[in-house]
């Protein structure tokens, strides 16, 4: 009898897992809360490491198409001082393919391909497993039973409570994201400033990062240490001049607050904020580094649902690697006992690797948004190939 496998979440983890299963001729049901692939903006750019994200795409048979879409020149990295002085300007060699960038939307479309994703299927709760399988309860009250439920539903996973009581905690660092469109024609000065890849500026307990996406789009991330509710009292929480609370949806008020927070930085850097359009708040949450759970037959987790960590270039890579590795293990399994053994072995392997990356990225965030900006430059020098 064929096993009924459900993947909850059509992010990098879930789609990679489903696509590799599909490649091996295994039936899989992808359940996604979003109403459709374009229901919300797809997000920024992702760098995919050769040994993680790219290896996963190879297992999905998609590496050649990734190479055609991705931007090796996006690996370029420039670090400026707050006065605009260039401190580092790293350019990849023409053949460098260690971490090319790809737009998140392009990656999603590449992974979806022929997969019949069930859009508009928000999962409310999973389990507990019974002899007949694992019940999945949807937000609209319906229910369906599977033999294996793979929770790839991100930071605030609804599958995770079936395995673990862990919940994400706030790191004390918030990102506020803004965007610039058509930079090459509308903002050529900022296009030159950002270059082909990323630009980063590190100050005391704050940083500004700008990343080029495809099509002349640039995403800008203002990063700072602040309590989660900083916007209710920016004067007290950010040490700014007296002012009323900020409505996070009020772009003009958020922009003005950020310009105050980054006051004294070089004008072209502040232009990245002045000319940004909408502002989205992304407080950085993490699961406890080294998060594991007692094995439960019929349910497992992938990606951020298993090991949410600071966004320092590892999360999507791990999510995809895990998706591909679990799918190959499941495809090779024969019968229900084999399937469970494959999941159990996968969990052991993946916990060890994710734990290492959680420790690296947690320590990295402490150094990148810190009281001593020299720490950020030192970190860059440690990880960047010369
Ligand atoms: C600003 C920023 C930049 C980043 N840059 C990088 C980078 O360069 N490289 C890198 O490796 N990582 C990066 N990351 C981290 C990366 O985005 C995540 O680690 C990655 O998206 C995790 O993939 P996932 O599939 O586990 O979860 P997600 O991408 O969160 O996908 C989860 C999916 O599940 C769906 N879902 C959620 N709840 C339900 C539900 N109840 N029912 C059904 N569906 C549900 C969601 O709609 C979503 O489609 C970055 C993160 C941020 C915030």
What spacing in Å lies between the alpha carbon of 67 and ligand 1's midpoint?
A: 22
Distance between CA atoms of 353 and 27, rounded to whole angstroms?
28
What spacing in Å lies between the alpha carbon of 81 and ligand 1's midpoint?
A: 31
Q: Does ligand 1 have an atom closer than 6 angstroms to the CB of 49?
A: no
What spacing in Å lies between the alpha carbon of 114 and ligand 1's midpoint?
A: 21
Q: Are 281 and 184 in contact (CB under 8 A)?
A: no
Blockwise average pLDDT, block size 10, the chain, 386 residues: 90 98 96 95 94 98 97 96 97 90 97 97 95 96 97 98 98 98 98 98 98 97 96 88 87 96 97 96 97 97 98 97 98 88 96 96 97 95 79
Q: Which atom of ligand 1 is nearest to the CA of 318?
A: 11
Query: Tokens 């690996």 sit at which residue?
Result: 75
Residue 241 backbone zone (phi > 0: left; psi -120 to 50: alpha; other: beta): beta
Distance between CA atoms of 170 and 27, rounded to whole angstroms?
38
The CATH class of 169-286 is alpha beta
Residues of the chain with CATH 3.50.50.60: 5-75+96-167+287-368
If residue 380 lies in a helix (H) or strand (E), which one and from where to where?
Answer: helix 374-383
Q: Does ligand 1 have an atom closer than 6 angstroms to the CB of 373?
A: no
3-state DSSP assignment of residue 7: strand
pLDDT score recorded for residue 96: 86
Distance between CA atoms of 151 and 376, rounded to whole angstroms?
34
Distance between CA atoms of 74 and 196, rounded to whole angstroms?
5
Distance between CA atoms of 351 and 343, rounded to whole angstroms?
12
Residue 242 backbone zone (phi > 0: left; psi -120 to 50: alpha; other: beta): beta
Residue nearest (by alpha carbon) to ligand 1 atom 1: 311
For a ligand 1 pocket test, name from 153, 162, 286, 287 the mutation site with the most ligand atoms within 8 angstroms of its C-beta: 153
What spacing in Å lies between the alpha carbon of 105 and ligand 1's midpoint?
A: 12
Does 104 count as an annotated binding residue? Answer: yes
Burial (0-12, 13-18, 19+ Cβ within 10 Å), 383: exposed
Q: 3-state SS string over 245-281?
A: CCCCCCHHHHHHHHHHHCCCCCHHHHHHHHCCCCEEE
Does 78 count as an annotated binding residue? Answer: no
Q: Which atom of ligand 1 is nearest to the CA of 316?
A: 11
Calculate Rg over the CA atoms of the chain: 22
Does 353 count as an annotated binding residue? Answer: no
For a ligand 1 pocket test, name from 316, 321, 358, 368 the mutation site with the most ligand atoms within 8 angstroms of its C-beta: 316
Q: What is the CATH number of domain 5-75+96-167+287-368?
A: 3.50.50.60
201 beta partners: 80, 208
Q: Does ligand 1 have an atom closer than 6 angstroms to the CB of 12?
A: yes
Q: Does ligand 1 have an atom closer than 6 angstroms to the CB of 323?
A: no
How many Cα atoms are found within 13 Å in the side-chain-facing hemisphere of 251? 11
Residues of the chain with CATH 3.30.9.60: 169-286
Distance between CA atoms of 189 and 193, rounded to whole angstroms?
6
What predicted TM-score, i.e. pTM, was given to this entire model?
0.96
Say if residue 215 is preceded by a cis peptide, omega within 30 of 0: no
For a ligand 1 pocket test, name from 11, 53, 124, 369 the mutation site with the most ligand atoms within 8 angstroms of its C-beta: 11
pLDDT score recorded for residue 383: 87
pLDDT score recorded for residue 386: 60
Does 304 count as an annotated binding residue? Answer: yes
Q: What is the pLDDT of residues 5-22, one digit of tens each?
A: 999 999 999 999 999 999
Contacts with 143 (C-beta within 8 Å, 6 or more apart), sequence order: 135, 136, 137
What spacing in Å lies between the alpha carbon of 266 and ligand 1's midpoint?
A: 33
Contacts with 256 (C-beta within 8 Å, 6 or more apart), sequence order: none
Q: Are 99 and 47 in contact (CB under 8 A)?
A: yes
Burial (0-12, 13-18, 19+ Cβ within 10 Å), 57: buried
Q: Which atom of ligand 1 is nearest to the CA of 10?
A: 49
Contacts with 142 (C-beta within 8 Å, 6 or more apart), sequence order: none
pLDDT score recorded for residue 343: 97
Listed residue (185, 254, 182) closest to 212, CA to CA:
182
The string of DSSP codes covering 302-321 is: -THHHH---SSS-HHHHHHH
CB atoms inside a 10 Å sphere around CB 90: 15
3-state DSSP assignment of residue 244: coil
Distance between CA atoms of 306 and 293, rounded to whole angstroms?
9
Q: Are 140 and 236 in contact (CB under 8 A)?
A: no
Q: Does ligand 1 have an atom closer than 6 angstroms to the CB of 304?
A: yes
Q: Does ligand 1 have an atom closer than 6 angstroms to the CB of 313?
A: yes
């Amino acid at each position: 009898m064929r096993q009924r496998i459900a993947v909850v979440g059509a992010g990098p983890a879930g789609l990679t897992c489903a696509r590799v299963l599909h490649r091996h001729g295994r039936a899989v049901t992808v359940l996604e809360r979003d109403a459709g692939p374009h229901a919300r903006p797809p997000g920024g750019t992702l760098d995919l490491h050769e040994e993680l994200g790219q290896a996963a795409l190879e297992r999905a048979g998609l590496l050649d198409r990734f190479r055609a879409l991705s931007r090796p020149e996006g690996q370029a990295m420039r670090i400026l001082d707050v006065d605009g002085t260039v401190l580092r300007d790293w350019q990849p060699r023409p053949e460098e393919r260690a971490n090319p960038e790809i737009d998140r939307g392009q990656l999603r479309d590449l992974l979806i391909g022929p997969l019949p994703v069930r859009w508009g299927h928000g999962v409310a709760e999973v389990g507990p497993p019974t002899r007949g399988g694992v019940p999945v309860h949807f937000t609209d009250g319906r229910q369906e039973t599977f033999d294996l439920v793979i929770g790839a539903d991100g930071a605030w996973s609804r599958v995770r409570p079936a395995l673990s009581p862990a919940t994400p905690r706030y790191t004390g660092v918030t990102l506020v994201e803004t965007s610039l469109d058509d930079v090459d024609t509308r903002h050529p000065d900022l296009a030159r400033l950002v270059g082909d890849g990323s630009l980063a500026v590190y100050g005391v307990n704050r940083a500004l990062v700008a990343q080029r996406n495809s099509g002349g789009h640039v995403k800008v991330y203002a990063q700072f240490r602040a309590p989660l509710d900083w916007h209710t009292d920016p004067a007290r929480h950010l040490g700014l001049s007296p002012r009323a609370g900020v409505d996070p949806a009020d772009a003009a008020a958020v922009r003005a607050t950020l310009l105050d927070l980054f006051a004294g930085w070089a004008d072209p850097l502040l232009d990245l904020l002045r000319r940004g359009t909408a502002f989205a708040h992304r407080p950085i949450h993490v699961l406890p580094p080294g998060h594991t759970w007692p094995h439960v037959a019929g349910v497992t987790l992938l990606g951020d649902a298993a090991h949410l960590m600071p966004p320092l270039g590892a999360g999507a890579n791990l999510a995809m690697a895990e998706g591909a590795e679990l799918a190959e293990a499941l495809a090779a399994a024969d019968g229900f006992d084999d399937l469970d053994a494959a999941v159990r072995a996968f969990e052991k392997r993946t916990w060890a690797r994710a734990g290492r990356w959680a420790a690296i990225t947690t320590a990295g965030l402490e150094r990148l948004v810190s009281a001593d900006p020299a720490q950020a430059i030192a970190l860059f020098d440690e990880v960047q190939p010369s």
